[in-house]
Amino acid sequence: MNFMTLKHELEKVYADITKSIGANSLPALETMQEFTRLARMMPILAEDEWIGEAEDFAHLATQIFLAAKKNDFKTVVQLSDSLDDAHRLLPQDL
């Protein structure tokens, strides 16, 4: 899988997550798990210039999954905001 394919898949899954959050409900754990799986692939595909950002993004994805697993909606919302910020630091296209 190349970076652009991964990014496209991540964005589709994350759209489902933000839709749930916007409706004041926890995203489905299956969706969160898929998002985390995809995010963990980012450092594998990362160029040297942005590997740190990719690792941070993958870490946040793991944290949001764990918060959702604990039914901690407040933390899920906070981590979603952090993921939005981290996403802006990743390359937009390659």
Residue 87's pLDDT is what? 75
CA distance 94 to 92: 7
Whole-prediction pTM value?
A: 0.88
Quick: pLDDT tens for 36-92: 999 999 999 888 888 888 899 999 999 999 999 999 999 999 999 998 887 776 666
Rounded to an integer, the average pLDDT of 3-31 is: 93
Residue that has been written with the tokens 């004041």 in this structure? 24
Radius of gyration of the chain from Cα atoms?
A: 13
Token reading at 58: 């993958």
For residue 60, which amino acid is it? L
Q: Could you tell me the residue ranges of all domains in the chain? A: 3-89
Residue 47's pLDDT is what? 83
CA distance 71 to 66: 9
CA distance 83 to 7: 13
Residue 94's pLDDT is what? 46
